[in-house]
Amino acid sequence: MKSNKHSISTLLCLAIALLTAVTAGTGLLLRGDNSFETITSVRGEEYQMAATGVYVYNALRVVAEGIGWDVFTLVFAVPALLIVLPFLHRGSLRGQLFAIGILAYLFYQYLMYAMAWAFGPLFLLFILIYSLSLVAIVLIISTIDITTLDQRFSAKFPRRGMSALCFVLAAFLILMWLQRILTALDGNIEGILLGQTTLVVQALDLGLIVPLAIFTGVSALRGRPIGYLLCSTVVVKAVAMAIAICAMLFSAWAYEGTLEIAPLLLFAAAAGVSFWLGVRMYRSILPQ
């Protein structure tokens, strides 16, 4: 039974990788010529809207950031998912946990795209990728005996380090996004909504990422089996997200001519710390 599930999850991840490659590649190749129109939203916010390409009708800043995401996804996330397929097929615990982390990254990215971006030709692909990613995550988890998962790791598993990372991440997102939300509620929406009707990214981060990070941190500190599962997958997503945001900032720099140094250094440091914890974590998995 498990062997069949391994085969199905492997084929599903292959399909997700191919769909993602097509979607991200289309976003890069057909992104338009950077022409834009200056628009005033119904709320009175003035912003530059992309006038050409598959990301037309989005704010130019959003398109610039999206190109960075697409580059990382195509160059790193898709190859990583393809490389892990043989390990996933064999039922390797390392392969399963790593695959879940990449799938979690893809689920979040394309859920955000589907919810936040202006309706366009890639809309159905966004939905297909995030929904299939969620199905694959559930399928892979169903093949793991979570109740005894803590016995698959040695004492070198960095419980305290991962807990600290989770709590810092949650606190950072809360402080960063509450400041932006309160600013917008005070009536100063210039450069915040960028033509959107609400703050989708902030809703996803505060409603999904923050509770998950806190629960993961608490579970890891208490040594619960679920904590081992969440830490081992969250750390992969954390590395992917941090590097993708760095790529996003560089892409925005290419479009706008201004590099945001503080966020770049912060997320680069987050990527480095997450990668270090991830290496320690995966090395602590005991042989089967």
Encode pLDDT of 227-242 as tens digits.
999 998 889 888 988 8
Q: Quick count: other Cβ atoms within 10 Å of Cβ 37?
A: 11
Residue 255 has pLDDT above 80, yes or no: no
- 105 Cβ neighbours under 8 A, 6+ residues apart: 77, 236, 237, 240, 241, 244
For 203-231, the pLDDT digits (tens) are: 999 999 999 999 999 999 998 999 999 99
What is the structure's pLDDT at 167? 95
In a 3-state reduction of DSSP, which class is residue 285?
A: strand
What confidence score (pLDDT) does residue 1 get?
A: 57
Q: Are 50 and 56 in contact (CB under 8 A)?
A: yes
Q: Distance between CA atoms of 55 and 118, rounded to whole angstroms? A: 7
Please provide the DSSP assignment of 210-277 as one string.
HHHHHHHHHHHHTT-HHHHHHHHHHHHHHHHHHHHHHHHHHHHHHHHS---HHHHHHHHHHHHHHHHH
The residues pairing with 37 across neighbouring beta strands, listed in sequence order, are: 49
Where is 106: in which H helix or E strand?
Answer: helix 93-116
Q: Which of 50, 47, 225, 265 is nearest to 144 (CA)?
A: 225
- Enumerate the domain spans of the chain: 2-144+153-283
Task: Quickly state the pLDDT bin for 2 (edges 50, 70, 90).
Answer: low
The model's pLDDT over 144-183, given as tens digits with 9 standing for 90+, comes to 988 888 889 998 999 999 999 999 999 989 999 999 899 9
Residue carrying the six token digits 């391994």: 6
Taking alpha carbons only, the member of 36, 28, 103 closest to residue 68 is 28
Mean pLDDT for 105-115 is 96
DSSP state of 207: I
Q: Which residues pair with residue 48 across a beta bridge?
A: 38
Residue type, 59: A
Query: Quick one: DSSP state of residue 153?
Result: B
- DSSP code string of 21-81: HHHHHHHHHTS--S-EEEEE-TTS-EEEEE-SSTTTTSBHHHHHHHHHHHHHIIIIIHHHH
Q: pTM for this one?
A: 0.93
Query: What is the rounded CA–CA span in Å between residue 30 and residue 122?
Result: 11
